[in-house]
């Protein structure tokens, strides 16, 4: 089955395209996600990096956060995908899923330490406060860290729901080590967020496509990032991110990804 049938369409559309029952498709996606998670945990380890960009992308599971009650599953509501991209190779080095809080940030940065080699590199993130303690406690021995804080213009009432806020200025705030201001950037990881929303129906804004279960959402992320790293040729580098990072020497096909 094409990866777009698993991720890029509504579930019932994938059901019609493939001829498989939607429960079978979901089970297939979860199985594929588990394999991709193990694959990346095994191969994306001690990777030499130079510039890491971090960001968090909002999604939700089952219902919007304002609709969550005390009796609901704790995984319901906001589900932020934390993503770390190496700017030069385009490799997604690490990702995490959870609430936008200190606990998820700590797990995300711990995973980033496991994935990167013990050499100096630079990290850029947005102004989210929990990054400061997480990076200082976990990566102070190998990373310089800056936050790129964006100031947004107030959006007119009629445009607030559908139009992105306009950035009127940015501020670079050095936090740890000796970061090079010329390398402070989050454009690559923000472009990756757009790719995720375009290729995963459950993350497309202002639609009725969304995840009903945490494990389905996590499996979709694992499958997306494994495909992105190992199978999809990036236009600017003309190879896959895994090839550019020296992790593999060829473009993988789906069968090889899911063995």
CATH code, 97 = 3.30.420
Domain range enclosing 158: 3-257
Centre a 10 Å sphere on the Cβ of residue 119 and count the other Cβ atoms it contains: 11
Q: Is the pLDDT of residue 27 over 80?
A: yes
Instruction: State residue 1's pLDDT score.
Output: 44
pTM for this predicted structure: 0.88
- Give the chain's domain count: 1
Q: What is the mean pLDDT of the chain?
A: 89
For residues 163 and 23, which has the higher predicted lDDT (pLDDT)?
A: 23
pLDDT band at 79 (very low <50, low <70, confident <90, very high): very high
Instruction: State residue 108's pLDDT score.
Output: 98
Tokens 């994306």 belong to 44
Do residues 198 and 207 make contact, with C-beta atoms less than 8 angstroms apart? Answer: no
Task: State the DSSP string of 100-118.
Answer: SSHHHHHHHHHHHHHHB-S
Segment (H or E) for 253: none
pLDDT tens-digit series, residues 99-142 = 999 999 999 999 999 999 999 999 999 999 999 999 999 999 99
CB burial readout 18-49, b (16+ within 10 A) else e:
bebeeeebbebbbebbbbbbebbeebbeebeb
Distance CA 61, CA 80 (A): 10
Q: Tell how far CA 6 is from the center of its chain.
A: 18
Mapped onto helix, strand or coil, the DSSP state of residue 61 is: strand
> Picking from 8-12, 124-128, 236-240, which range would have the lowest pLDDT averaged per residue?
8-12
> Picking from 31-45, 107-121, 201-215, 230-244, which range would have the lowest pLDDT averaged per residue?
201-215
- DSSP-derived letter for residue 258 is T
């Amino acid at each position: 089955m094409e990866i777009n049938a698993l991720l890029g369409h509504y579930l019932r559309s994938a059901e019609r395209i493939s001829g498989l029952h939607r429960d079978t498709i979901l089970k297939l996606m979860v199985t594929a996600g588990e394999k991709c998670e193990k694959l990346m945990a095994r191969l994306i380890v001690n990777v030499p990096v130079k510039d890491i960009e971090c960001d968090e992308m909002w999604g939700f599971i089952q219902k919007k956060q304002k609709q969550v009650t005390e009796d609901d599953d704790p995984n319901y509501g906001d589900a932020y995908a934390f993503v770390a991209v190496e700017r030069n190779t385009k490799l997604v080095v690490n990702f995490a899923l959870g609430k936008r809080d200190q606990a998820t940030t700590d797990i995300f940065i711990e995973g980033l330490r496991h994935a990167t080699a013990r050499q100096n590199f630079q990290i850029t993130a947005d102004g989210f406060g929990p990054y400061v303690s997480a990076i200082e406690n976990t990566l102070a021995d190998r990373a310089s860290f800056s936050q790129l804080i964006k100031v947004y213009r107030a959006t007119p009432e009629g445009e607030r729901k559908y139009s992105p806020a306009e950035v009127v200025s940015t501020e670079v705030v050095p936090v740890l080590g000796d970061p090079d201001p010329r390398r402070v950037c989050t454009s690559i990881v923000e472009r990756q967020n757009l790719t995720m929303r375009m290729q995963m129906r459950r993350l497309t804004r202002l639609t009725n496509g969304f995840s009903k279960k945490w494990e389905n959402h996590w499996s979709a992320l694992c499958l997306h990032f494994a495909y992105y790293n190992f199978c999809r040729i990036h236009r600017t580098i003309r190879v896959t991110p895994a090839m550019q990072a020296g992790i593999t020497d060829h473009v993988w096909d789906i069968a090889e990804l899911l063995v």
